[in-house]
Amino acid sequence: GEDVEQSLFLSVREGDSSVINCTYTDSSSTYLYWYKQEPGAGLQLLTYIFSNMDMKQDQRLTVLLNKKDKHLSLRIADTQTGDSAIYFCAETFNNAGNMLTFGGGTRLMVKP
């Protein structure tokens, strides 16, 4: 079955860049997503990338996809204290429509 893994925790200083990583095992992914979850809240879709793309940039967010290494990353430029949250990568796979497989989440802490 599919397996999606993330590191548990990342701490950065305000103004620095953050890079959150995600690895997966199934190469039949179709779309790959990054969700943000603030304390006590639901999931907010930040950005997504189609599996035939290598990179997508959206303002402060840059998504990189290395299909050979099955590695997805989210870079947040000029990280702010409001970026402190849990970040989940999620994927959809061939024959599974839009059913999401989530990673375990990375808690980002931004220090002033």
Partner 1 sequence: DAMVIQNPRYQVTQFGKPVTLSCSQTLNHNVMYWYQQKSSQAPKLLFHYYDKDFNNEADTPDNFQSRRPNTSFCFLDIRSPGLGDAAMYLCATSRDKGAGNEQFFGPGTRLTVL
Cβ neighbour number for residue 39 with a 10 Å cutoff: 7
Q: Which of residues 2-61 bind partner 1 (CB under 8 A)?
A: 30-31, 35, 40-45, 48, 50
> Are the beta carbons of 51 and 29 closer than 8 angstroms?
yes
- Residue 83 DSSP class: G
Place of tokens 């953050």: 18
Q: How far is the CB of 43 from partner 1 (least distance, A)?
A: 4
Q: Map residue 88 onto helix, strand or coil.
A: strand
User: Which region among 18-26, 62-70, 73-81, 93-101 touches partner 1 (by CB under 8 A)?
Assistant: 93-101
Using rule CB under 8 A, residue 109 touches partner 1: no
User: Which region among 15-23, 56-64, 75-83, 88-96 touches partner 1 (by CB under 8 A)?
Assistant: 88-96
Cβ-based nearer residue to partner 1, 33 or 76? 33
29 vs 26, 78, 92, 109, CA distance in Å?
7, 30, 6, 29
CA 2/CA 59 separation, integer angstroms: 30
Q: How far is the CB of 78 from partner 1 (least distance, A)?
A: 26
List residues near partner 1 by CB under 8 A: 30-31, 35, 40-45, 48, 50, 88, 92, 94, 97-100, 102-105
